[in-house]
Amino acid sequence: MNRRLFFALVLLMEVPVCRVLAAAEPARTQPASPKWILAEAEKARAEGRYLQAKPLYQQLLQQAPPPEIAAVVQKGLGEVNIRLILSSAIGPNAEIYVVKPGDTLSKIAKNFHTTVDLLRISNGLQSDRLRPGQRLKVVKAHFSVLVDKSQNTLTLKDGEEVLKVYPCATGREGITPVGNFNIVNRIVDPPWYSPEGLIPPKDPRNQLGSRWLGFDTPGYGIHGTTDPTSIGKPVTHGCVRLTNQDVEELFILLPQGTPVSIVD
């Protein structure tokens, strides 16, 4: 509309110009409160809308929320990150790989520095048999682990991004070694070579639980437990101890060669 004609119409209507201009402006909304954003994030997570939940959690963390909200955000974001990795969703840390003749899951896992377990789960595979031309999601994350003895926490990272923080148990009197290590062996239902002798897998006395991720320093690693109440305490013989559920989750993700840092 011509500007001169606009003001002429305003005068004819005997309406103040400021009122007309204000009505034409879009309504200004107040920034969403942290509690509202958290409620939306939690709702999206509960409904399985993980791609929508993740940026909401990340937005909250950038706002430095109070401790009670931050704890809920960290837990929710951790679950969302793992769910996305295990799902068929193609995020920034994944790509589609087209199966070639002669490929096996083990070969693909080795080439992409991932695990067969993760290939199976993220692609919903019911069999290890592959066919040429088949399209697979391949996770290309650069996983690493940071264990903080002072907090009894284990942090899973992808590059610089914190994916999830797990409570853990570490060695009594600080005997868990500090330094940089690599995961060199992965064992399902490990036997325990205890001071009393060999204790077989799944024996209630076997303190290693359901999984073992061994370091390149013999005798040390990350494992499960038969005593979940010990998690969060400095009570082990030197290893890093998780609940069976948590160590089984890490076992799916972490291939041989994954770096592990332990700090005081």
Amino acid (one-letter) located at 239: C
Predicted confidence (pLDDT) per residue in 171-213, tens digit: 999 999 999 999 999 999 999 988 889 999 989 899 999 999 9
d(CA 186, CA 74): 28
d(CA 140, CA 230): 34
Nearest Cα to Cα of residue 119 among 94, 142, 91: 94
- Walk along the chain (264 residues) and give the pLDDT tens digit of each residue: 555 544 444 344 444 444 444 444 555 566 788 889 999 999 999 999 999 999 999 999 998 888 888 999 999 999 999 999 999 999 889 999 999 999 999 999 999 999 999 999 999 999 999 999 999 999 999 999 999 999 999 999 999 999 999 999 999 999 999 999 999 999 999 999 888 899 999 898 999 999 999 999 999 999 999 999 999 999 999 999 999 999 999 999 999 999 999 999
* 239 flagged as catalytic: yes
* 223 flagged as catalytic: yes
User: Tell me, what's the pLDDT at 65?
Assistant: 85
Strand residue runs (E) in 129-263: 135-139, 143-148, 153-158, 161-167, 170-171, 179-188, 192-194, 197-199, 211-215, 221-223, 234-236, 240-241, 259-263
Name the catalytic one among 113, 142, 168, 239: 239
- Domains of the chain in start order, with CATH, are 34-86 (no CATH), 94-139 (3.10.350.10), 143-263 (2.40.440.10)
Name the catalytic one among 18, 113, 142, 223: 223
Tell me the percentage of the chain whose pLDDT exceeds 70: 88
User: Tell me, what's the pLDDT at 100?
Assistant: 98
* pTM score, whole prediction: 0.85
